[in-house]
Structure 1
């Protein structure tokens, strides 16, 4: 294992003795403010359980191509299911990874009740018939990861000197959940090394579980650095919604994955937690001291940020999966008309 280059946060200490908790909250705030990424230990997920989840991922990706294609994402207007290598785009370039995406297990909203394009994100997952145990295991795992992110979100409320329930209105009922199992094949001669292109995540928080192979990289003021696996730890990063809520005090950071070398593969499990799709991101009123350090969310004309959560999530899904966009949203360029119109509106000051 390489030397770790990101801060390490002990989740258990955030609910421990007062002094240890105070010190860990200070470290958490510094990590989220300066880097936007950190390792999380003390989260309660055993290494054995983590290996079992990655082992299930390995079994899925080893299935015959026909079995995997039976649950292709293009069949789902809710963006759930399997994608083969090259099917997902980042900044209009294909990523060299295959993956299996799930979200909350839900009932699709009837056509009579659909008023916004993003409401179509709600719906059931697809599950491979060849691995019936996947449904129970992954839905349970997703709930365990959700609990961790909710604990972190509560800690960030304290870091931002806000009431403990400041995010409750945006997650009440259930936050938006999105989890993916990912397989990165080794590079081939002449192929791109873009496992995943440079991007930011659209939610509140992201948790990443890695196997023993490096590949994740984070942009810093000193250039790109590696975030190699740390035994038992999760990698956590700040999403665009927390950057928006804190007016840029917390940092959503560009990151990417470089494909492993020839003959080597990499497995990971990424979990993205956002506010409810029908929620609006709260713009927090920071203390004068914190507000003086908040420089506003970064503005990228090619990647507009929306305070309405469903719009922000759907924007990313349409852009990344043009095949699903074309089949189910009638937009081969990956942008529903409502999203295109909204992109012209500036983020409120």
Structure 2
């Protein structure tokens, strides 16, 4: 079975023949498997290890301290989710997590603005870890900058201007990040760390610790994606599949629970267009357009070109407790 390609982002920044070779390799990875390792991104190994250590420190807090920043406190889908509190395809995932997005001012509920505007708001931060806010917001912005560079490269790979997506991120791309802890499964729980799914945005960057668990669906079966020190695992999201009319591939992936006596920690960053944007359908050259089969269609999971609508749909389905607490009259309409 094949292995994930390794792309070095410094080749893109170098220009010339190095950039050309990077684009060729990127186009193949994004089209054929939808996943690749990314090196040369300029984010030091020490900072990566600092974020993973911070994840360990947070999840080691007493449950009462974590529940003080539980996600159901607000309608903004930020904060702590306890074990089996998130669903994938209607089944609970065996993981606990801490979600943040951009630090924003909350919009007051109004009937004349889209419901997805309630996604905007402040993050929740545990008082026991005062350093967490500064570290994670700086980390999140660095990953956003890396993602924007990749998005420009992907536009060129599709034979568009590298500014093709700029109108959808000119106010800053939508950012969503989560620290995640996967305990080992026992006889009373499934091994579903996270069930098979596609990511809804433009791009996802995942930092893994030393424990495997991430798997990608291929024509030959499920491919294990072991950690590669210093590298991020990058995957194509559904918005890029939409924008390219299915030429680029958003791939199903999952996480299996670690073996007995082992825990797994990771940090996942999701970048999408800004919430008020509409994803464009790119005018691909004819020879590429002939290979675009249209985005995958799932009647149980419709895709919307309007970004805020698409993001809110996914959040409501994944977090029914937040939906019940803050979107009860609206959730069934998604």
Q: TM-score range by the shorter chain?
A: over 0.9
Structure 1 position 83, deviation (Å) = 0.4
SS at match of 1:251: coil
Residues in 2 aligned to 1:95 and 1:275: alpha-carbon distance in whole angstroms? 26
> Who is 1:18 aligned against?
16
Contact 1:4 1:227 in 2 (8 A): no
Residues in 2 aligned to 1:329 and 1:30: alpha-carbon distance in whole angstroms? 41
Aligned pairs for 1:11-160 (under 5 A) are 11-112=9-110, 115-160=113-158
What is the count of residue pairs matched by the alignment? 334
Residues in 1 aligned to 2:259 and 2:188: alpha-carbon distance in whole angstroms? 12
Aligned Cα root-mean-square deviation (Å):
1.3
Structure 1 position 114, deviation (Å) = 5.3
**Taking structure 1 as reference, are residues 87 and 105 closer, same or farther at Cα in structure 2, changes over 3 Å only?**
same
Structure 1 position 111, deviation (Å) = 2.6
The TM-score normalised by the length of structure 2 is 0.98
The runs of 4+ residues in structure 1 deviating greater than 6 Å are: none
Structure 1 position 20, deviation (Å) = 1.7
Work out whether 1:183 is the aligned partner of 2:181: yes
Residues in 2 aligned to 1:219 and 1:225: alpha-carbon distance in whole angstroms? 6
SS at match of 1:203: coil
Residues in 2 aligned to 1:303 and 1:116: alpha-carbon distance in whole angstroms? 20
Structure 1 position 226, deviation (Å) = 0.3
Contact 1:237 1:252 in 2 (8 A): yes
SS at match of 2:283: coil
SS at match of 2:293: coil
Residues in 1 aligned to 2:35 and 2:332: alpha-carbon distance in whole angstroms? 32
> Who is 2:331 aligned against?
335
Structure 1 position 174, deviation (Å) = 1.1
Unaligned 5+ segments in structure 1 are 340-349
Work out whether 1:297 is the aligned partner of 2:298: no
Contact 1:178 1:272 in 2 (8 A): yes
Residues in 2 aligned to 1:181 and 1:4: alpha-carbon distance in whole angstroms? 29
Structure 1 position 110, deviation (Å) = 1.9
Contact 1:248 1:294 in 2 (8 A): yes
Contact 2:30 2:248 in 1 (8 A): yes
Structure 1 position 250, deviation (Å) = 0.5
**Taking structure 1 as reference, are residues 41 and 321 closer, same or farther at Cα in structure 2, changes over 3 Å only?**
same
Contact 1:213 1:266 in 2 (8 A): yes
Residues in 2 aligned to 1:259 and 1:4: alpha-carbon distance in whole angstroms? 23
SS at match of 1:218: strand
Find 2:194's aligned residue among 171, 196, 204: 196
Residues in 2 aligned to 1:322 and 1:111: alpha-carbon distance in whole angstroms? 20
> Who is 2:162 aligned against?
164
Aligned pairs for 1:298-313 (under 5 A) are 298-313=296-311
Work out whether 1:210 is the aligned partner of 2:212: no
Unaligned 5+ segments in structure 2 are none
**Taking structure 1 as reference, are residues 112 and 189 closer, same or farther at Cα in structure 2, changes over 3 Å only?**
closer
Aligned pairs for 1:234-249 (under 5 A) are 234-249=232-247
**Structure 1 residues 107-137: Cα deviation after superposition (integer angstroms, max 9, x where no partner):** 0112347511111101000000111110111
SS at match of 1:111: coil
The TM-score normalised by the length of structure 1 is 0.94
Structure 1 position 21, deviation (Å) = 1.4
Contact 1:157 1:163 in 2 (8 A): yes
Residues in 2 aligned to 1:239 and 1:78: alpha-carbon distance in whole angstroms? 22
Residues in 1 aligned to 2:27 and 2:169: alpha-carbon distance in whole angstroms? 21
SS at match of 1:296: coil
Residues in 2 aligned to 1:94 and 1:18: alpha-carbon distance in whole angstroms? 48
> Who is 1:317 aligned against?
315
Residues in 1 aligned to 2:161 and 2:3: alpha-carbon distance in whole angstroms? 32
Contact 2:109 2:118 in 1 (8 A): no
**Structure 1 residues 284-324: Cα deviation after superposition (integer angstroms, max 9, x where no partner):** 00000110111100001111100000011011000000000
